[in-house]
Structure 1
Amino acid sequence: MNALLQRLQIDLPLFQGPMTGSDTPQLAAAVSQAGGLGFLGCGMRSPQAMREAAAAVRAATAKPFGMNLFVLEQPTPDAATVQAAIDRLAPLYADLGLPPPEAPARWCEDFHAQFEALLDARPAVASFTFGILSAAQVRRLKDEADSYVIGTATTLAEAQAWAEVGADAVVASGMEAGGHRGTFLEDFEASMVGTLALVPQCVDALSIPVIAAGGIMDGRGIAAAQALGAQGVQLGTAFLACPESAIGPAQRTAMAGAQATDTRVTRIYSGRPARGLVNAMMERLAMHEAAVPAYPVQNALTGALRRAAAAQGRADYLSLWAGQGVGAARPLPAAQLVALLAQEWRDVSKSTAARH
């Protein structure tokens, strides 16, 4: 058992990706109960919803779990930028029988209030993406909540920055991963580093554990990540297909027929580069991608559209987040998937050892 598993008191080097908006307390609890580490993606949860979700996980399992936040400040876009974005989206809203979107009272949850709620919730693991904490914030999580702090990095420089502020571990997130890129230092294009290249760079440069993410779907991927020096792996798309995830029937159907070549990285849904399945909305707005306001402004303006699309079963206007491993997703209950992943990983490890 490696240092990471010993510290977290979990049996398997297997983390469920946070997947904000698609996660549920049921999914997190099932993964944790099965020996991995379940996660709540709290980037878009209010402080009260964070507390309720954490309580729901604790009601279902006594095992440790994690909570993830987006490191964000409230943006202050100018009115012209917002109006231009609304005008671009109005025809899509009309297609679903909706009036054009309106600017919300605020663009995202207040990160500082969320951070205080995280301290109150005292999860075993607190992880972060989209930005970086201060050393003082990391210290508070350790001292006040006894949480193990994990930062998300898409480059070696980001991983080193997290180590410098005192993070306990880093998720090295390759460009294969589904959903939003966690990039916060370099430009997004330069930060499109694959898992196979990123993980060993981070392992060699850091003294803290590295958790591999991006494109890992089965036991072979887990064994490969460990061969690169990762102490754990984080799987998002693999757990997205589980019945406990919050995605609707339209997204499940789209995922079931998809392959790696069906995914693209785009800003059009949220204003931050994210990998998902190509659909009509992505294609219709592709020409405007450079003009889309940055996250969370675009994300807030497309929110009602995506919710309506889900309610109407319209995959063409959903943000179909999925990684390049989507073709290998298995729609099993989370506990069964964890057991299968663990068995595959052990089988691969044994056969590799037998060959040497």
Structure 2
Amino acid sequence: MRIEPLLGTRLPIIQAPMAGVQNSALALAVCRAGGLGSLPCAMLSAEALVQELELLSAEAAGPWNLNFFAHSNPPAEAAREQQWRAALTPYYAELGLDIEAISAGAGRRPFDAATLELIAPFRPPVVSFHFGLPEAAMVERIKGWGGKVLSTATTLAEGRWLQTHGADAVIAQGLEAGGHRGHFLSTDLSLQMGTFALLPQLVAALDIPVIAAGGIADADGVAAAMALGAAGVQLGTSYLLCPEATTSQLHRAALQSEAAQHTALTNLFSGGAARGIVNRVMRELGPLSETPPPFPLAGGAITPLRSAAEQRGSSDFSPLWSGQNNSGCKAITAAELTLELAAKVGA
């Protein structure tokens, strides 16, 4: 079973949606090469999303994917927020910032009815989700215009849940993957497996295509995943050095340094577990901490530190998202990289 007939692509390659390091330019480049280009939408305003949709609709060669978060924002807890600010106060003082000036806000919007109405006129060919799926009526609306629905599973139980609730394909996200975990039935990280442990179990248990993601960086890795039954492969980290990505110079430098060899899961940047290159704040506060408020509420307090440090040429407080295997990062065009990644899987 291959993913191309379902998605309408020429290649079994999906570019992972990566908020903060890309816009539609990267997605369009991957589409032109025959893969599925993806646009991360959870951090876009309605106006920005419409602008990107207009570009994708007008310029995409082949199908494209919009990615949203299906989470629910937790209630704010004043005590937890104060605890988090107290932990960050020394850094605010160091950078000469006023911690009382922090603006509240989650920074990541869950998929909702208003967003569905906004995207519906554009009839996106593929809509993917992180953290489960939205309510059934929304899934059916997407399918009603012919859209395919994908979502991420980090465990066998999540894969089965997604199949039962209408996903057309499941993305098997291994523990090695960069960025946020797509878990939604449990946040217990001990339940997560590596990609090549999770993938064959999902393939055996599900009747829908399974897409491998996490720790796959090159054509050999893609071929290995396909040999284990993957219908396609989703890759993100390998695209971070492409000129079409908006990856910052600090992030690009980190990916090409010895520091890139050490990644860890951390909840310091958003409150949710996500994998990135270890930096100062992760070392000093511990990558996984009980202090930050839950996803996505932690971001409000740490973002000013990130901005101030980056203006000084430092990535001490920046989320340097990366998978464990960043050996495939290349400063070549996204189209060239997409073709390279698919070179060993055949037609």
Counterpart for residue 263 of structure 2: 263
3-state DSSP class of the match of 1:15? Answer: strand
Q: Counterpart in 1 of 2:54? A: 55
Q: CA deviation at 1:146?
A: 2.1
Q: Is contact 1:134-1:165 (8 Å) kept?
A: no
Task: Give 5+ residue unaligned stretches, structure 2.
Answer: none
Matches within 5 A, 1:141-156: 141-143=142-144, 145-156=145-156
Please give the alpha-carbon distance, in whole angstroms, between the structure 1 residues aligned to 2:55 and 2:187.
38
Matches within 5 A, 1:92-171: 92-100=91-99, 102-104=102-104, 108-109=108-109, 111-112=111-112, 113-143=114-144, 145-171=145-171
Distance 1:219 1:287, change over 3 A: closer
CA distance, structure 2, for counterparts of residue 47 and residue 310 of structure 1? 27
Contact kept, 8 Å, 2:270 with 2:295, in 1: the verdict is yes
Other-structure match for 1:83: 82
CA-atom RMSD in angstroms: 2.1
The letter of the residue matching 1:274 is A
Q: Which moved more, 1:17-26 or 1:310-319?
A: 310-319
Q: Residue 36 of structure 2 aligns with which residue?
A: 37
Cα distance in 2, alignment partners of residues 280 and 325 from structure 1:
21
- The answer to whether structure 1 residue 253 and structure 2 residue 245 are counterparts is no
Kept in 1: contact 2:266–2:275 (CA 8 A): yes
Is 1:18–1:39's contact at 8 Å kept on the other side of the alignment?
A: yes
Alignment partner, residue 181 of structure 1: 181
Query: 2:325 is aligned with what amino acid?
Result: G
1:106 Cα offset (Å): 5.5
Residues 311 and 335 of structure 1, relative CA distance in 2, 3 Å threshold: farther
User: In structure 2, how many angstroms separate the alpha carbons of the residues matched to 1:114 and 1:92?
Assistant: 37
Greater shift, 98-107 or 299-308, is seen at 98-107
Change (3 A) 1:221 1:43: same
Stretches of 4+ moved more than 6 A in 1?
none
Q: Residue 189 of structure 2 aligns to a residue in which SS?
A: coil
| 8 A contact 2:42–2:110 mirrored in 1 | no
Structure-2 residue corresponding to 1:353: none
Contact 2:2 2:12 in 1 (8 A): no
CA contact (8 A) 1:257 1:327 kept: no
Q: What is the one-letter code of the residue matched to 1:116?
A: E
C-alpha distance in 1 between matches for 2:110 and 2:165: 22
The farther-off stretch of 47-56 and 222-231 is: 47-56
**1:92 match: secondary structure:** helix
| Alpha carbons of structure 1 residues 311 and 147: separation in structure 2 relative to 1, 3 Å | farther
Aligned residue pairs total 345
Bigger shift: residues 12-21 or 121-130 = 121-130
Q: Distance in 1 between matches of 2:93 and 2:307?
A: 14
Check the 8 A contact 1:258/1:326 in 2, yes or no.
no
Deviations 1:123-164 (A, max 9, x none): 111000023323222111111x32100011000100111100
Counterparts of 1:338-353 in structure 2 under 5 Å? Answer: 338-343=338-343, 345-346=344-345
Over the matched positions of the two proteins, sequence identity in percent amounts to 42
* Alpha-carbon displacement from aligned partner over 1:217-267 (angstroms, at most 9, x marks no partner): 111111111111111000010111212112111110000114774101111
Partner of 1:16: 15
Aligned partners of 1:258 and 1:327 also within 8 Å: no
Give, in whole Å, the separation in 2 of the partners of 1:94 and 1:51: 39
Q: Give the number of the structure with larger relative contact order, counting CA–CA contacts within 8 Å between residues 6 or more apart.
A: 2
TM-score using structure 1 length: 0.91
CA contact (8 A) 1:154 1:182 kept: yes
Please say if residues 210 and 231 of structure 1, whose CA atoms lie closer than 8 Å, have aligned partners that are also in contact.
yes
Distance 1:116 1:87, change over 3 A: farther
Structure 2 Cα separation of the partners of residues 296 and 20 of structure 1: 14
Distance 2:164 2:125 in 1: 21
Distance 1:221 1:82 in 2: 42
> More deviation in 83-92 or 305-314?
305-314
**Contact 1:259/1:326 (<8 A) preserved:** no
1:181, CA displacement in angstroms?
0.6
Instruction: Kindly provide the amino acid, as one letter, of the partner of residue 339 in structure 2.
Output: A
Is the contact between residue 108 and residue 300 of structure 1 (CA under 8 Å) also seen in structure 2? Answer: no
**Secondary structure at 2:298 match in 1:** helix
Q: Which runs of 5+ in 1 are unaligned?
A: 351-356
For the 8 Å contact 2:105–2:300, the answer to whether it is kept is no
Query: What SS class does the counterpart of residue 284 from structure 2 fall into?
Result: helix
CA drift of 1:187 comes to 3.2
TM-score by length of 2: 0.93
Distance 1:250-1:106 versus aligned 2 partners, 3 A rule: closer
